[in-house]
Amino acid sequence: MIYTPLFFVFFVLVFMLVWLFINTIDKRKWLSFLISIILAPVVYFFIFYPMLNIFSSYHHQKYFNADAWLEKPALRYEMSNHIINDSLFIGKTKKHIESQLGTPEWFGWDDSIKANSAEKWNYNLGFKPGAFNNMQECLELTFHNQKVKTVRQYQLEQQFE
């Protein structure tokens, strides 16, 4: 486990809450302190930490890797920031993009021609972890003269039955 300043802040917060709760049961400070020392790690790791992971939108960030992109499509969202922030594919050809990302999963809508355009390639990035998340992450690459002009990330709402 990696001990970060945020870990210590959260752990002290949980300890104080447990100690205040135990104080309402028994007024003996030494007993409340002893029970709080024992219960604080249990409450932290079995109640607080799982709830924090469920309701926070934190997820790992990874560098782009073509093999991982093709092998684990559900985890592509972890690489999307690297692709967008570092402009990895701006100016690359369609052939290069296809070798790195695979064939496009669908073509994007182009209002100028009122149809799906082969100049807008879309890839599914998966769902970011978190409770009540029904937004699918997508990546769109727009081409001009056979080269990537823009890369953008957007979300699609998914309906689950």
**Adjacent-strand bridge partners of 154:** 138
Per-residue pLDDT tens over the stretch 112-148: 888 888 899 999 888 887 777 778 889 999 999 999 9
Q: Which of 52-56, 71-75, 97-101 has the highest mean pLDDT?
A: 97-101
Distance, CA of 4 to CA of 11 (rounded, Å) = 11
Per-residue pLDDT tens over the stretch 14-29: 999 998 999 998 888 8
Q: Identify the CATH class of 66-157.
A: alpha beta
**73 pLDDT tier (thresholds 50, 70, 90):** confident
Domain extent listing, the chain: 5-55, 66-157
Question: What's the whole-model pTM score?
Answer: 0.66
Burial of 36 (0-12, 13-18, 19+ CB in 10 A): buried
Predicted confidence (pLDDT) at residue 159 exceeds the cutoff of 80: no
Predicted confidence (pLDDT) at residue 150 exceeds the cutoff of 80: yes
**Adjacent-strand bridge partners of 155:** 137
Per-residue pLDDT tens over the stretch 29-64: 888 889 889 999 999 889 888 888 777 766 677 888
Predicted confidence (pLDDT) at residue 161 exceeds the cutoff of 80: no
